[in-house]
Amino acid sequence: MKKILLLTGVLLCCLGFAKAQDLKSPNGKLVMKFTLLQDGSPSYSLTYKGKPVIKPSKMGFDLKTKPRDEASGGSDANMEQKNVNLQGSLHSNFTLVSNQTTNYDETWAPVWGEVKTIRNHYNELAVTLNQQQTNRQMVIRFRLFDDGLGFRYEFPTQKNLTYFVIKEERTQFAMAGDHTAYWIAGDYDTQEYDYTTSKLSEIRGIMAKAVTANISQTPFSPTGVQTSLMMKSKDGLYINLHEAALINYPVMHLNLDDKNMVFESWLTPDAVGDKGYMQAPCTTPWRTVLVSDDARDILASKMTYNLNEPNKIKDAASWIKPTKYVGVWWEMITGKSTWSYTNDYPTIQLGITDYTKAKPHGKHGANNANVKRYIDFAAKHGFDGVLVEGWNQGWEDWFGNSKDYVFDFVTPYPDFNVQEIRDYAKSKGVKMIMHHETSSSVRNYERHLDKAYQFMKDNGYDAVKSGYVGDILPRGENHYSQWIVNHYQYALEKAAEYKIMVNAHEAVRPTGIARTYPNLIGNESARGTEYQSFGGSKPNHVTVLPFTRLIGGPMDYTPGIFEMDLSKLNPDNGSHVNSTLANQLALYLTLYSPLQMAADLPENYERFMDAFQFIKDVAVDWDDSKYLEAEPGEYVTVARKAKGTGQWFLGSVGGDNARTSNIKLDFLDKGKTYIATIYADAKDAHYKTNSQAYTIKKVVVTNKSKLSQFVAPGGGYAISFELATKDKTKGLPKL
Amino acid sequence: MKKILLLTGVLLCCLGFAKAQDLKSPNGKLVMKFTLLQDGSPSYSLTYKGKPVIKPSKMGFDLKTKPRDEASGGSDANMEQKNVNLQGSLHSNFTLVSNQTTNYDETWAPVWGEVKTIRNHYNELAVTLNQQQTNRQMVIRFRLFDDGLGFRYEFPTQKNLTYFVIKEERTQFAMAGDHTAYWIAGDYDTQEYDYTTSKLSEIRGIMAKAVTANISQTPFSPTGVQTSLMMKSKDGLYINLHEAALINYPVMHLNLDDKNMVFESWLTPDAVGDKGYMQAPCTTPWRTVLVSDDARDILASKMTYNLNEPNKIKDAASWIKPTKYVGVWWEMITGKSTWSYTNDYPTIQLGITDYTKAKPHGKHGANNANVKRYIDFAAKHGFDGVLVEGWNQGWEDWFGNSKDYVFDFVTPYPDFNVQEIRDYAKSKGVKMIMHHETSSSVRNYERHLDKAYQFMKDNGYDAVKSGYVGDILPRGENHYSQWIVNHYQYALEKAAEYKIMVNAHEAVRPTGIARTYPNLIGNESARGTEYQSFGGSKPNHVTVLPFTRLIGGPMDYTPGIFEMDLSKLNPDNGSHVNSTLANQLALYLTLYSPLQMAADLPENYERFMDAFQFIKDVAVDWDDSKYLEAEPGEYVTVARKAKGTGQWFLGSVGGDNARTSNIKLDFLDKGKTYIATIYADAKDAHYKTNSQAYTIKKVVVTNKSKLSQFVAPGGGYAISFELATKDKTKGLPKL
């Protein structure tokens, strides 16, 4: 109580007295205070168990005052231009019109997910504000859950605010201290940086090193970082800042005032430097603050989904299926084979370049024989699908040229027979997975989208992996500007019309919209396994991703690499996969996704069939999930109950150093006996020096059992639990 | 001969000695000299009958040296970025590899046009150049016709020039003197300025006044002008600069060095300031110079078409039909009625705004009853089609808001019944003409294009008038940048797939591509009749258009205004149409187009049925055309022979002052007698004070007849010639 008074005190002295309104979370542990300051600026603050999470922080917008369209009159002069508001400040001089508090409690069932049902339980405060001189209304809606806060701005239909252009959003997140942050550099075009762990005050000094080279990148500030941003305070609070329901709005980055430790929203601009083009009635995405003194609550939170609209796809369950797949992909990523078909031409012109006359260079991965090999492998080991990249014409000069007509998405190379592969896969009971690399030529993709989707349906493809490598066309736009966010949404909704599942790479990071459009079964939008082949990622990378990238939705991380020395696949590739084999198995649990790839080559799996058994067994859809251990950058341990079967699986990943994982198996069904198959690091395992050293043992366990398990540097372990019958347990040790 | 030597002399002293190559036109009157200067810069010059037309002028390009894509490496690092050339200069250090001269002579028949057949006759010089240090090849191809010069740059397939970005084209057009020019301000977004007649040296001083307000405009230089640019030299040469076959390249403007009277190409930039994104093999459009000592030759020239590719539409003649039409349009332009339906909503959201619940404001022009009135009028008077604007939802806030989803092109207002109108028009034997206003929201139009075209075919529309009012979306792009030029072409070619004729307004001005895609039956792309309702145009405007805008192709000028006092249509509109009624009739001849509108309201035509008879009679497709009088800014007189019927029509328009037109009727068929119905200005007619004063008389004429005809200020006259039988000529005076 004292602390709250103290905080109020702070509020008084810093911001001057003004009317305030409190909002409590259902369990009372979170308290949000909204205040309208003396100058009419809206402000909010947040506490968790009395501890400050967000100190008083201002809210609002700067609007553009000179629309590009202003040079009007002259032609068509008898038609008057609509009022484009010329008053820039939408962050002060507000008066309180009304307050409305409500509470909400529902339970909904996701089409796919970590759990069978999700409770959406919050108390809401809607503050209606009026800006006096301009007579413009703005509503700020707060939703306070037991695990965090969401708020957004709403602009109702009104006379004086119709069309307006956001110059910048001015939402502050004032931190209560110099927290430890797990961050990547803010960037308009890439999210694929390695994470840095540092104090907030250290970001500026580290930034230059943190911005590593990328094909398309636009960093913007020495203290700019991306969301979802994970932080930990000295007094043990875990705080996560992100956004939910990003629709028709630019991505929000965070820019840090590192004197006062205040983050402010920094939106992604368009080609002319504007941020958001708005038409009332409209709303912004939700700005989210997850908080707990237990890191596991951050991972278990469903708040981001809850802040999204319910499923809009009526018959979703009938055609959206969680999928485990293999693919002709890792061999190109490692350089063992190629996407391209020939070296004959300096450039390619679709429809003009005649590949039938070209001399194949012999390294093309997507050839009929090789694809059938993957189909056979998938069929033999029970995988649902096979992804094939590099099947279509145009890969010889597919990026880096700002090329407009780069792919047509329907014309295969001479050595890839679409119909033959379609029929062969069908005969083997395997689904083909389409690949649409757009090279970020967005207009070209939209021009071909209908034909491309129809081509998929005609040839037995129900899912597409799309890619956005390179700088965006139209030129000047960015991967995360409103215009392009709008495109990803367009491609997703059109895919739904065709009953196509989408797994978009290099697209905007998810913000929970998979609740509304569950055909978005995957995204990359972070540093995936491919970077292990581009010089490698940090061993603890996979212990950060669940706290950051995965907050908004599943990631197509493409785990399951068994051969860590990539020079064995391609002598010219000196990269090493910084992970143990057991760690790779655990990722199928710790990096939740309804879409899981076994990314390595069949021949590598065939060398380790005992370990591969876990990838064959592990489920991809769940009735329940229990986070047992969690610390960002250190470790994540989670147990999940497979959908329908009642079978449990467990995964645990560690960080840079060895550790011992101590867990209770009390999540297991009471009174039942299980045989646990434990895939673990050998004592001498190490992500760099001994990454394939693993052990497999079977033990008998119950929900009373405790496990103490060694985890090597960059290591982990995975367990499958099967219900035991007497005869099966015979001779097996108890845990 | 002396002059040529003199010119060569100039060449020697100014540019240093170098190898030169001459090219003569088939009739020998034009001589083009190509020279590679000592620094390896290509240069050309042109003479007509020994008079300098283009003094030695440099050629080439500045290329961009820092592609936006340069920040490569890192991700996907095993794929190397293609060579983006980093050497900027592509205008010097060339050596001559080879010269090739050829001659060409063909005759082709246009699908529609001013004449039945067109002769394509030229001598060609192709110069292959190699840039030493960079080993880059460039071909400059010259085609010299009897009426002018065309040349373009070609980039063959090569190792060291694959993808490249044009920073600026450096093509010079060095004038031989301070010519009189008929110009409009260079602008990236509008071509709808009124023409100014001035000396080249006066352009800078007049520019500010010449740039009048427009909804979307981007002027760029105090001496920047648009093509087609018409000029007249002191020694009586008529010179026209333009371009032909503008495909996948930015529009060329001309920027004047007004000390030396040298024009240089100034391309239209994209959102990031780049000009052209090229991939070899590729070519630029043709740069054209028309020249003659007789202004009529400029109007009669077919060089621009000849420099375009032959017709690519196989069955064109079967569905592309010259069309005379009326439409629900002028009443909105004048403000008598509106495109919009209601005033109920501050903004419109398609699919959300419910018009069925809206209170109509009662001025909506495109309502069933009014449209049927136009259909009845068209049927009664033998018009082919009826255009209806404002039929579809969204017009309440259709421009000026940078609105993305502005129209869907398929959803009508509640008072416009698509099927009912379709059936009614069909029963009357009238074709409906579709209207697609895009508001320059180009992505939105492309997203809806297939559905919109299919909707047309489903509802009996074979032609579409498209519009591009307002600033372009994607933001930062311009109406005439490569990206958007590319869009107009996309919409045109896709229309051809649906067998749809296109009449694009506010789109790029034509460059003869209607030879290749004859479904482009019209363009606005200049200051049309609508401006007579927006404050008026200059009386002599229509005597300039044939020498400028029409060089590239037909214009949908929408003539035929009979009521010049627009306050009679809308009390709030003080504009006066600066033209006599007879002038309006003549426009159907002087402004050639296969698409001609009778733009005024039925009730205005019904007041002048005797004059309206000419509009009913006049043809829209021709076997032959004879330009009898021509002087830019002063007068144009042309006689045309209707396709098939052998009937002749004649039109003559004057400028600001009264004049007498003296012509021979020797174009008429020898030995035949005609009854000429002459629609002319009354003696006291005047475009401002007495614009409806006209006379109609019938006289008997032969090809021996001479006519001396008064033309009032802003006036003109029109004649229809019908083959006479004895009884018909009885009592009629001979001319």
Contact A277 B447 (CB under 8 A): no
The answer, for B353 touching chain A at a CB cutoff of 8 Å, is no
> pLDDT band for position A12 (50/70/90)?
very low
The answer to the question of residue B336 being in a domain is yes
> What span, in angstroms and rounded, lies between the C-alpha atoms of B268 and B227?
12
What A379-383 contacts at long range (C-beta under 8 Å, 24+ apart), as own/partner pairs, is A379/A428, A379/A429, A379/A430, A381/A605, A381/A612, A381/A616, A382/A616, A383/A324, A383/A325, A383/A326, A383/A430, A383/A598
Contact B347 A163 (CB under 8 A): yes
Contact B397 A217 (CB under 8 A): no
Q: What's the pLDDT score for residue A520?
A: 98
Other Cβ atoms less than 10 A from the Cβ of A513: the count is 25
The answer, for A397 touching chain B at a CB cutoff of 8 Å, is yes
Contact A72 B404 (CB under 8 A): no
- B 693-722 residues with CB < 8 A to A: none
The answer, for A356 touching chain B at a CB cutoff of 8 Å, is no
Q: What's the pLDDT score for residue B87?
A: 83
A-chain residue closest to B396, CA distance: A82
Element (H, E) at A512: none
> pLDDT band for position B729 (50/70/90)?
confident
pLDDT at A74 over 50: no
> pLDDT band for position B132 (50/70/90)?
confident
Positive or negative torsion for Cα B225, B229, B231, B237: positive
User: In the structure encoding, which two tokens stand for residue B436, read together?
Assistant: 């697609």
As a three-state string, the secondary structure of A162-196 is CEEEEEEECCEEECCCCCEEEECECECCCCCCCCE
B-chain residue closest to A269, CA distance: B475
Q: Please state the separation of Cα A502 from the chain's center in Å.
A: 13
The answer, for A235 touching chain B at a CB cutoff of 8 Å, is no
* Number of domains forming the structure of chain B: 2
Q: What is the pLDDT of residues A440-461, one digit of tens each?
A: 999 999 999 999 999 999 999 9
Q: Could you list the active site residues of A? A: 530
The three-class DSSP label of residue A709 is strand
Q: What's the pLDDT score for residue B12?
A: 36
Contact B475 A190 (CB under 8 A): no
A300 plus A321 within the same structural domain = no
Contact B401 A279 (CB under 8 A): yes
Which residues on adjacent β-strands are paired with residue B125? B101, B142
The answer to the question of residue A629 being in a domain is no
Q: What's the pLDDT score for residue A489?
A: 98
Among A254, A282, A306, give the residue marking a domain's end: A306
Of residues B365, B366, B368, B364, the one with CA closest to residue B421:
B368
> What span, in angstroms and rounded, lies between the C-alpha atoms of B566 and B578?
11
For residue A331, the chain B residues in CB contact (below 8 A) are none
Q: What's the pLDDT score for residue B701?
A: 97
As a three-state string, the secondary structure of B472-512 is CECCCCCCCCHHHHHHHHHHHHHHHHCCCEEEEECCCCCCC
Tell me the pairing of strands B706-711 and B659-664: antiparallel
* Averaged pLDDT for residues A49-71: 83
Q: Are B374 and B329 in contact (CB under 8 A)?
A: no
> pLDDT band for position B66 (50/70/90)?
low
How far does the CA of residue A535 sit from the closest CA of chain B (Å)? 8
The CA-to-CA distance between both ends of chain A, in Å, stands at 46
Other Cβ atoms less than 10 A from the Cβ of B481: the count is 28
Q: What's the pLDDT score for residue A729?
A: 87
A94 plus A29 within the same structural domain = yes
Question: By percentage, how much of chain A surpasses pLDDT 90?
Answer: 93
For residue B77, the chain A residues in CB contact (below 8 A) are 534-535
The answer to the question of residue A383 being in a domain is yes
The CA-to-CA distance between both ends of chain B, in Å, stands at 46
pLDDT at B80 over 60: no
Q: What's the pLDDT score for residue A18?
A: 57
How far does the CA of residue B526 sit from the closest CA of chain A (Å)? 12
For residue B185, the chain A residues in CB contact (below 8 A) are none
pLDDT at B6 over 90: no
How far does the CA of residue A79 sit from the closest CA of chain B (Å)? 8
Q: What is the pLDDT of residues B691-708, one digit of tens each?
A: 999 999 999 999 999 999
A64 plus A141 within the same structural domain = yes
Tell me the pairing of strands A118-131 and A136-145: antiparallel
How far does the CA of residue B458 sit from the closest CA of chain A (Å)? 20
Q: Tell me what ipTM this predicted complex has.
A: 0.93
Give every CB contact of residue A419 below 8 A, 6+ residues apart in sequence. Answer: A459
DSSP 8-state symbol, A452: H
> What span, in angstroms and rounded, lies between the C-alpha atoms of B441 and B467?
10
The answer, for A353 touching chain B at a CB cutoff of 8 Å, is no
A-chain residue closest to B344, CA distance: A159
B300 plus B404 within the same structural domain = no
DSSP 8-state symbol, A108: E
> What span, in angstroms and rounded, lies between the C-alpha atoms of A267 and A309?
23
Q: What's the pLDDT score for residue B65?
A: 85
Contact B75 A534 (CB under 8 A): yes
| Half-sphere exposure (Cβ direction) of B555: Cα atoms closer than 13 Å | 29
Contact B530 A279 (CB under 8 A): no
Of residues A514, A509, A146, the one with CA closest to residue A300:
A146
The answer to the question of residue B635 being in a domain is no
Among A591, A619, A647, give the residue marking a domain's end: A619
Q: Are A591 and A546 in contact (CB under 8 A)?
A: yes
| Half-sphere exposure (Cβ direction) of A287: Cα atoms closer than 13 Å | 27
Contact B82 A401 (CB under 8 A): yes
Which of B401, B449, B497 to mutate to test binding with chain A, by most A CBs within 10 Å of its CB?
B401
How far does the CA of residue A80 sit from the closest CA of chain B (Å)? 9
B-chain residue closest to A191, CA distance: B75
> What span, in angstroms and rounded, lies between the C-alpha atoms of A447 and A469?
18
B-chain residue closest to A490, CA distance: B447
Q: What's the pLDDT score for residue A66?
A: 63
Of residues B361, B406, B437, B339, the one with CA closest to residue A279:
B406
pLDDT at B458 over 70: yes
B252 plus B382 within the same structural domain = no
The three-class DSSP label of residue A513 is helix
The answer, for A556 touching chain B at a CB cutoff of 8 Å, is no
B534 plus B581 within the same structural domain = yes
Mean pLDDT of chain B: 94
The answer, for A343 touching chain B at a CB cutoff of 8 Å, is no
Q: What is the pLDDT of residues A131-187, one digit of tens each?
A: 988 999 999 999 999 999 999 999 999 999 999 999 999 999 999 999 999 999 999
Contact B483 A474 (CB under 8 A): yes
- B 47-76 residues with CB < 8 A to A: 67-69, 71-76
Contact A475 B271 (CB under 8 A): yes
How far does the CA of residue A660 sit from the closest CA of chain B (Å)? 34
The three-class DSSP label of residue A442 is helix
As a three-state string, the secondary structure of B603-648 is HHHHHHHHHHHHHHHCCCCEEEEEEEEEECCCEEEEEEEECCCCCE
The answer to the question of residue B331 being in a domain is yes
| Identity of the residue in B159, B192, B471 whose CB atom sits nearest the CB atom of A69 | B471
Q: What's the pLDDT score for residue A391?
A: 98
A-chain residue closest to B439, CA distance: A69
B561 plus B487 within the same structural domain = yes
> What span, in angstroms and rounded, lies between the C-alpha atoms of B344 and B360?
8
The answer, for A277 touching chain B at a CB cutoff of 8 Å, is yes
**Residue A348 belongs to a domain with what CATH number?**
3.20.20.70
How far does the CA of residue A344 sit from the closest CA of chain B (Å)? 11
Q: What's the pLDDT score for residue B10?
A: 33
Q: Are A328 and A598 in contact (CB under 8 A)?
A: no
For residue A82, the chain B residues in CB contact (below 8 A) are 347, 397, 400-401
* Averaged pLDDT for residues A340-358: 96
Q: What is the pLDDT of residues B604-637, one digit of tens each?
A: 999 999 999 999 999 999 999 999 999 999 999 9
Question: By percentage, how much of chain A surpasses pLDDT 70?
Answer: 95
Of residues B215, B361, B357, the one with CA closest to residue A82:
B215
How far does the CA of residue B506 sit from the closest CA of chain A (Å)? 11
Q: What is the pLDDT of residues A266-315, one digit of tens each?
A: 999 999 999 999 999 999 999 999 999 999 999 999 999 999 999 999 99
Give every CB contact of residue A52 below 8 A, 6+ residues apart in sequence. Answer: A3, A7, A45, A46, A176
User: In the structure encoding, which two tokens stand for residue A24, read together?
Assistant: 């409590």
Q: For residue A35, report the phi and psi dihedrals to the nearest 5 degrees.
A: -135, 135
* Averaged pLDDT for residues B685-689: 98
A438 plus A568 within the same structural domain = yes
The answer to the question of residue A55 being in a domain is yes
A302 plus A428 within the same structural domain = no
Contact A68 B401 (CB under 8 A): no
Contact B162 A347 (CB under 8 A): yes
User: In the structure encoding, which two tokens stand for residue B45, read together?
Assistant: 């010059």
Single-letter amino acid code for the residue at B96 = L
Query: CA A368, A424, A324, A548: dihedral to nearest 10 degrees?
Result: 40
* Residue pairs between chains A and B whose CB atoms are closer than 8 Å: 218
> What span, in angstroms and rounded, lies between the C-alpha atoms of B591 and B244?
20
The answer, for A351 touching chain B at a CB cutoff of 8 Å, is no
* Averaged pLDDT for residues B712-724: 97
As a three-state string, the secondary structure of B643-687 is CCCCCEEEEEEECCCCEEEEEECCCCCCCCCEEEEEEEECCCCEC
> What is the residue range of A294's domain?
3-177+237-306
The answer to the question of residue A698 being in a domain is no
B270 plus B366 within the same structural domain = no
B-chain residue closest to A71, CA distance: B215
Q: Please state the separation of Cα A494 from the chain's center in Å.
A: 21
> pLDDT band for position A8 (50/70/90)?
very low
- A 182-201 residues with CB < 8 A to B: 190, 192
Q: Are A240 and A292 in contact (CB under 8 A)?
A: no
Q: Are A691 and A568 in contact (CB under 8 A)?
A: no
In the block, tokens 């950060």 appear at A544
A-chain residue closest to B212, CA distance: A74
For residue A533, the chain B residues in CB contact (below 8 A) are 78
The answer to the question of residue B678 being in a domain is no
> pLDDT band for position B727 (50/70/90)?
confident
* Averaged pLDDT for residues A586-599: 98
Among B594, B619, B644, give the residue marking a domain's end: B619
- Name the catalytic one among B477, B530, B563, B634: B530
How far does the CA of residue A219 sit from the closest CA of chain B (Å)? 12
**Residue A60 belongs to a domain with what CATH number?**
2.70.98.10
Contact A71 B215 (CB under 8 A): yes
- A 247-276 residues with CB < 8 A to B: 270-272, 274
A346 plus A302 within the same structural domain = no
* Averaged pLDDT for residues A466-491: 98
A-chain residue closest to B487, CA distance: A443
B159 plus B68 within the same structural domain = yes
The answer, for B578 touching chain A at a CB cutoff of 8 Å, is no
* Averaged pLDDT for residues A326-330: 98
Q: What's the pLDDT score for residue B318?
A: 97
* Averaged pLDDT for residues B34-58: 97
The model's pTM is: 0.94
